[in-house]
A = this chain, B = another copy of it.
Amino acid sequence: MQHYFVSDVLSVGKVVSLPDNVSHHLSRVLRAQVGDSFELVDQNQQVFQAAISQINGRVVTATITSALDRNVELPVETTIVSGLSKANKPELIVQKATELGVNRVIFLPMNRSIVKWDQKAAKKLTRLNEVALSAAEQSHRNQVPKVDYLSGLAALNQLSFDTKIVAYEESAKIGEEANLVKAVRATKPGQSIVAVFGPEGGIDEGEVNLLVNNGYRLAGLGPRIMRTETAPLYFLSAVSVLTELLS
Protein backbone atom coordinates (compact mmCIF):
# COMPACT_ATOMS: atom_id res chain seq x y z
CA MET A 1 0.00 0.00 0.00
CA GLN A 2 1.22 3.54 -0.80
CA HIS A 3 2.59 5.46 2.16
CA TYR A 4 2.92 9.27 2.34
CA PHE A 5 3.92 11.89 4.90
CA VAL A 6 1.87 15.02 5.69
CA SER A 7 2.61 17.87 8.07
CA ASP A 8 -0.93 17.96 9.55
CA VAL A 9 -2.15 16.34 12.75
CA LEU A 10 -4.67 13.71 11.63
CA SER A 11 -7.55 11.88 13.31
CA VAL A 12 -10.11 9.34 12.16
CA GLY A 13 -12.94 10.95 10.19
CA LYS A 14 -10.93 14.03 9.26
CA VAL A 15 -11.04 15.13 5.62
CA VAL A 16 -7.76 16.47 4.26
CA SER A 17 -6.57 18.09 1.04
CA LEU A 18 -3.39 16.25 0.16
CA PRO A 19 -0.18 18.18 -0.54
CA ASP A 20 0.71 18.77 -4.20
CA ASN A 21 3.36 16.06 -4.42
CA VAL A 22 1.05 13.42 -2.89
CA SER A 23 -1.94 14.51 -5.02
CA HIS A 24 0.22 14.37 -8.12
CA HIS A 25 1.60 10.94 -7.30
CA LEU A 26 -1.83 9.45 -6.57
CA SER A 27 -3.77 11.02 -9.43
CA ARG A 28 -1.17 11.25 -12.20
CA VAL A 29 1.45 8.58 -11.53
CA LEU A 30 -0.79 5.87 -10.05
CA ARG A 31 -4.07 7.01 -11.68
CA ALA A 32 -5.83 6.24 -8.39
CA GLN A 33 -9.64 6.48 -8.18
CA VAL A 34 -12.11 7.71 -5.58
CA GLY A 35 -12.31 5.06 -2.86
CA ASP A 36 -8.71 3.84 -3.25
CA SER A 37 -6.87 3.37 0.05
CA PHE A 38 -3.39 4.39 1.13
CA GLU A 39 -1.45 5.31 4.27
CA LEU A 40 -0.75 8.77 5.66
CA VAL A 41 1.71 9.53 8.43
CA ASP A 42 1.04 12.73 10.35
CA GLN A 43 3.46 15.08 12.07
CA ASN A 44 3.24 13.00 15.26
CA GLN A 45 4.52 9.93 13.37
CA GLN A 46 1.12 8.27 13.71
CA VAL A 47 0.15 6.12 10.72
CA PHE A 48 -3.43 6.25 9.41
CA GLN A 49 -5.31 4.54 6.66
CA ALA A 50 -7.04 6.97 4.29
CA ALA A 51 -9.31 6.71 1.27
CA ILE A 52 -9.65 9.12 -1.64
CA SER A 53 -12.94 10.99 -1.30
CA GLN A 54 -12.59 13.42 -4.22
CA ILE A 55 -10.31 14.11 -7.18
CA ASN A 56 -10.73 17.66 -8.44
CA GLY A 57 -8.21 18.46 -11.14
CA ARG A 58 -4.86 18.55 -9.37
CA VAL A 59 -6.32 18.45 -5.86
CA VAL A 60 -6.96 15.11 -4.19
CA THR A 61 -9.04 15.02 -1.00
CA ALA A 62 -8.98 12.06 1.37
CA THR A 63 -10.86 10.88 4.43
CA ILE A 64 -8.98 9.27 7.32
CA THR A 65 -10.58 5.88 7.85
CA SER A 66 -8.57 4.32 10.68
CA ALA A 67 -5.50 4.68 12.87
CA LEU A 68 -2.85 1.98 12.45
CA ASP A 69 -0.85 0.82 15.43
CA ARG A 70 2.52 0.66 13.74
CA ASN A 71 5.98 1.85 14.73
CA VAL A 72 8.95 0.72 12.64
CA GLU A 73 11.47 3.20 14.06
CA LEU A 74 14.69 2.02 15.69
CA PRO A 75 14.42 2.20 19.51
CA VAL A 76 17.48 4.49 19.62
CA GLU A 77 17.79 7.81 17.76
CA THR A 78 20.53 7.00 15.24
CA THR A 79 22.72 9.48 13.35
CA ILE A 80 25.40 8.66 10.81
CA VAL A 81 28.10 11.14 9.85
CA SER A 82 29.77 10.58 6.52
CA GLY A 83 32.89 12.24 5.10
CA LEU A 84 32.07 13.68 1.66
CA SER A 85 32.43 10.96 -0.95
CA LYS A 86 32.33 10.92 -4.73
CA ALA A 87 29.69 10.44 -7.42
CA ASN A 88 26.37 8.96 -6.34
CA LYS A 89 27.66 7.56 -3.05
CA PRO A 90 25.85 10.13 -0.85
CA GLU A 91 22.55 9.22 -2.57
CA LEU A 92 23.18 5.52 -2.03
CA ILE A 93 24.03 6.13 1.63
CA VAL A 94 20.87 8.20 2.23
CA GLN A 95 18.58 5.76 0.42
CA LYS A 96 19.89 2.61 2.08
CA ALA A 97 20.36 4.22 5.51
CA THR A 98 16.71 5.33 5.40
CA GLU A 99 15.58 1.78 4.64
CA LEU A 100 17.72 0.62 7.57
CA GLY A 101 16.14 3.06 10.02
CA VAL A 102 18.52 6.02 10.30
CA ASN A 103 17.13 9.23 11.85
CA ARG A 104 19.67 11.74 10.62
CA VAL A 105 22.47 11.74 8.07
CA ILE A 106 25.18 14.41 8.30
CA PHE A 107 27.67 14.97 5.50
CA LEU A 108 30.84 16.93 6.12
CA PRO A 109 34.20 17.47 4.44
CA MET A 110 37.09 15.51 5.91
CA ASN A 111 40.81 15.76 5.25
CA ARG A 112 40.83 12.96 2.68
CA SER A 113 37.60 13.99 0.93
CA ILE A 114 38.34 14.58 -2.74
CA VAL A 115 35.10 16.38 -3.51
CA LYS A 116 33.97 19.67 -2.01
CA TRP A 117 30.34 20.80 -1.72
CA ASP A 118 30.70 24.46 -0.62
CA GLN A 119 28.27 26.43 -2.82
CA LYS A 120 26.70 23.20 -4.07
CA ALA A 121 25.68 22.13 -0.55
CA ALA A 122 22.15 23.59 -0.62
CA LYS A 123 21.32 21.95 -3.94
CA LYS A 124 22.83 18.62 -2.86
CA LEU A 125 20.83 18.71 0.37
CA THR A 126 17.57 19.40 -1.45
CA ARG A 127 18.18 16.36 -3.64
CA LEU A 128 19.31 14.14 -0.74
CA ASN A 129 16.29 15.09 1.36
CA GLU A 130 14.08 14.08 -1.59
CA VAL A 131 15.88 10.73 -1.69
CA ALA A 132 15.24 10.33 2.05
CA LEU A 133 11.53 11.15 1.62
CA SER A 134 11.11 8.70 -1.21
CA ALA A 135 12.97 5.92 0.64
CA ALA A 136 10.96 6.64 3.84
CA GLU A 137 7.74 6.26 1.82
CA GLN A 138 8.93 3.01 0.30
CA SER A 139 10.11 1.50 3.58
CA HIS A 140 6.94 2.65 5.40
CA ARG A 141 8.84 4.62 8.03
CA ASN A 142 7.09 6.68 10.73
CA GLN A 143 9.43 9.57 10.04
CA VAL A 144 11.57 11.00 7.27
CA PRO A 145 15.26 11.13 8.18
CA LYS A 146 16.85 14.56 8.01
CA VAL A 147 19.91 15.10 5.83
CA ASP A 148 22.31 17.88 6.87
CA TYR A 149 25.63 19.37 5.88
CA LEU A 150 28.19 20.65 8.38
CA SER A 151 31.38 22.57 7.71
CA GLY A 152 33.57 20.00 9.46
CA LEU A 153 34.29 17.98 12.59
CA ALA A 154 34.57 21.11 14.73
CA ALA A 155 30.92 21.86 13.95
CA LEU A 156 30.00 18.23 14.64
CA ASN A 157 31.61 18.50 18.06
CA GLN A 158 29.07 21.20 18.96
CA LEU A 159 26.28 18.61 18.70
CA SER A 160 25.48 16.38 21.64
CA PHE A 161 24.62 12.68 21.52
CA ASP A 162 24.33 10.13 24.32
CA THR A 163 26.71 7.66 22.65
CA LYS A 164 29.44 8.63 20.19
CA ILE A 165 31.58 6.29 18.12
CA VAL A 166 33.96 6.59 15.22
CA ALA A 167 34.33 3.65 12.86
CA TYR A 168 38.02 2.94 12.57
CA GLU A 169 39.58 0.23 10.44
CA GLU A 170 42.53 -0.17 12.76
CA SER A 171 40.27 -0.91 15.73
CA ALA A 172 40.75 -4.66 15.38
CA LYS A 173 44.50 -4.22 15.79
CA ILE A 174 44.15 -2.20 18.99
CA GLY A 175 41.57 -4.42 20.68
CA GLU A 176 38.56 -2.14 20.13
CA GLU A 177 36.60 -4.75 18.24
CA ALA A 178 33.88 -5.18 20.85
CA ASN A 179 33.16 -1.46 21.19
CA LEU A 180 30.35 -1.37 18.64
CA VAL A 181 28.30 -3.86 20.63
CA LYS A 182 29.15 -2.11 23.91
CA ALA A 183 28.21 1.29 22.52
CA VAL A 184 24.85 0.19 21.13
CA ARG A 185 24.01 -1.69 24.33
CA ALA A 186 24.91 1.34 26.44
CA THR A 187 22.35 3.41 24.52
CA LYS A 188 18.93 3.16 26.20
CA PRO A 189 15.68 3.33 24.23
CA GLY A 190 15.00 6.97 23.36
CA GLN A 191 18.67 7.94 23.72
CA SER A 192 20.83 8.96 20.78
CA ILE A 193 23.81 7.33 19.13
CA VAL A 194 26.09 8.76 16.44
CA ALA A 195 28.69 6.99 14.31
CA VAL A 196 31.29 8.78 12.17
CA PHE A 197 32.60 7.27 8.90
CA GLY A 198 35.52 8.49 6.82
CA PRO A 199 35.44 9.28 3.09
CA GLU A 200 37.02 7.02 0.41
CA GLY A 201 40.58 7.41 1.69
CA GLY A 202 39.50 6.84 5.31
CA ILE A 203 39.53 9.08 8.34
CA ASP A 204 43.01 10.35 9.25
CA GLU A 205 44.75 10.07 12.59
CA GLY A 206 44.35 13.75 13.48
CA GLU A 207 40.62 13.54 12.87
CA VAL A 208 40.36 10.39 14.97
CA ASN A 209 42.21 12.13 17.81
CA LEU A 210 39.96 15.19 17.57
CA LEU A 211 36.90 12.99 17.89
CA VAL A 212 38.36 10.89 20.70
CA ASN A 213 39.18 14.08 22.60
CA ASN A 214 35.52 15.00 22.26
CA GLY A 215 34.20 11.79 23.77
CA TYR A 216 34.01 9.55 20.70
CA ARG A 217 35.13 5.95 21.14
CA LEU A 218 36.82 3.90 18.43
CA ALA A 219 34.79 0.97 17.18
CA GLY A 220 35.54 -1.81 14.71
CA LEU A 221 32.94 -3.14 12.28
CA GLY A 222 34.19 -6.67 11.86
CA PRO A 223 37.41 -7.80 10.18
CA ARG A 224 36.74 -6.89 6.54
CA ILE A 225 37.55 -3.58 4.88
CA MET A 226 34.33 -1.93 3.70
CA ARG A 227 33.85 0.92 1.27
CA THR A 228 32.80 4.30 2.63
CA GLU A 229 29.17 3.74 1.60
CA THR A 230 28.98 0.18 2.97
CA ALA A 231 30.26 0.74 6.52
CA PRO A 232 27.26 2.88 7.65
CA LEU A 233 24.89 0.18 6.35
CA TYR A 234 26.69 -2.43 8.43
CA PHE A 235 26.45 -0.13 11.46
CA LEU A 236 22.71 0.47 11.02
CA SER A 237 22.05 -3.25 10.53
CA ALA A 238 24.04 -3.90 13.71
CA VAL A 239 21.94 -1.35 15.64
CA SER A 240 18.80 -3.11 14.40
CA VAL A 241 20.05 -6.61 15.26
CA LEU A 242 21.17 -5.54 18.75
CA THR A 243 18.13 -3.41 19.65
CA GLU A 244 15.29 -5.01 17.67
CA LEU A 245 16.10 -8.68 17.08
CA LEU A 246 17.97 -9.39 20.33
CA SER A 247 15.97 -7.10 22.61
Contacts of A71 in B (CB 8 A): 223
| Cα A136 to Cα B30 with chains together (Å) | 42
Question: A152 interface residue, CB < 8 Å from B?
Answer: no
Question: A52 interface residue, CB < 8 Å from B?
Answer: no
Which of A60-68, A118-126, A153-161, A173-181 has 4 or more CB atoms under 8 Å from chain B? Answer: A173-181
Contacts of A180 in B (CB 8 A): 245
Instruction: Render A99-126 as a binary contact track against B, CB cut-off 8 A, 1 for contact.
Output: 1110000000000000000000000000
Copies of this protein, total = 2
Smallest beta-carbon distance A230→chain B, Å: 5
| Cα A237 to Cα B225 with chains together (Å) | 13
Q: How many residues of A contact B (CB 8 A)?
A: 31
| Cα A223 to Cα B241 with chains together (Å) | 11
Which of A18-26, A42-50, A137-145, A191-199 has 4 or more CB atoms under 8 Å from chain B? Answer: A137-145
Question: A12 interface residue, CB < 8 Å from B?
Answer: no
Contacts of A99 in B (CB 8 A): 224-227, 230
Interface contact A230-B101, CB-CB below 8 Å: no
Name A residues whose Cβ lies closer than 8 Å to a Cβ of B: 71-72, 96, 99-101, 138-141, 177-178, 180-181, 222-227, 230, 233-234, 237-238, 240-242, 244-246
